Amino acid sequence: MRQERLVDLRAATVIRTLAIIIAAALAVEIIWIARQVISWIVIALFLALALDPLVGLFERRAKLARGWAIGAVYVALALILTGIGATFLPSLIHEVNGLANALPGYLHDLTHGRGRLGFLETKYHIVEKVKAQVETGGATKLLGISGTALSITQSVITAVAATVTIIFLTFFMLLEGRAWTERFYGLLPEEAQPRWRAVGADVYRTVGGYVSGNLLISLIAGTLITVVLLILGVPFAVALGLLVGILDLIPLAGATLAGIVVVGVAALHSILAAVVVAIVFIVYQQIEDHILQPMIYSRTVQLSPLAVLLAVLVGASLAGILGALAAIPVAGTIQVILRDWLATRATHSPAAGSG
């Protein structure tokens, strides 16, 4: 005969459990509300970790104080970006103007069923469909004009605020980050400090390696596409290559979006160029996803290729683009802590002690 077991829960236990649940729910709600600011903080943290070695180099070689070294790095980066802009901006402006000047011709061919886009009218009658939508719902309904101006204005203001905030956050993280880290180490028992300092150094190398690896992969992608477009004679090659390099920073979706835009522009030049560019994109994407990216990240973040792929997929499913960006350094950090925990456990195990 089975005996019934009664569990006696004290009121204090119930209250404590409810308090933990409520606190966790509030924490999740606060994180969700502040998710945009948190994303800025994460980006600034990545930038600070990537720039810290350069700041340290200025401190050692130029004998500068920390604040002056950070300022020197900022000035150096501004000069580099200005130089890149002076090199590519005239070509970029020329190509963008050329695209803008070519658009009326593309629209004329489209409406008359001629040219490379004429099949959209002759086969799908897209012009008539657009006219019908305008007549039935108006341009506002078709294009969403009523909210477009406000949306664009909000996006521009948000982008400016994000850029300024990230710049200052990165500066203060570089300036005060080491002091904060030392305060954290000071809270630990003295005998535990060497261990956690070693863990912190490994985490620092992991995140810094991820940032440098991601930038290297984007540089390779942008350069490759630019060279291919120049060989094929596709216009706007420099601008499109720069776009690929920027979008390739976004894991998973960035390269696909860049490929759609570049293939579309190449199709306006020639169908053969579009086919070649599409093949190059598909082949390179497979090489980047399954060979280049895992190899570079396995060297910088010291994760296995399988762990890199799984981390990106899980991070993207949990938090979208930000999750995909943060997944690899987070996985590397977990690996560092887990490796240290296993090593410490093995050192203090009875078998190790008896040996």
The per-residue pLDDT for range 35-89, each reduced to its tens digit, is 778 778 877 887 887 788 888 888 888 888 888 989 888 998 888 778 766 766 6
Instruction: With beta carbons less than 8 A apart as the criterion, state whether 296 and 216 touch.
Output: yes
Residue 218's CB is within 10 A of a number of other CB atoms, namely 20
Number of H helices, E strands in the chain: 13, 0
Task: List alpha helices for 188-270, DSSP H.
Answer: 193-232, 237-247, 253-269
- What is the rounded distance in angstroms from the CA atom of residue 31 to the CA atom of residue 56? 33
Tokens of 224: 């490759």
Q: What is the model's pTM? A: 0.60
What CA–CA distance (Å, rounded) separates 333 from 315? 14
Residue carrying structure tokens 């994460």: 42
Strand ranges inside the chain, DSSP E: none
Low-confidence ranges of the chain (pLDDT < 70): 1-9, 84-85, 87-89, 91-152, 155, 251-253, 296-302, 305, 318-322, 348-355
What's 4's DSSP letter? P
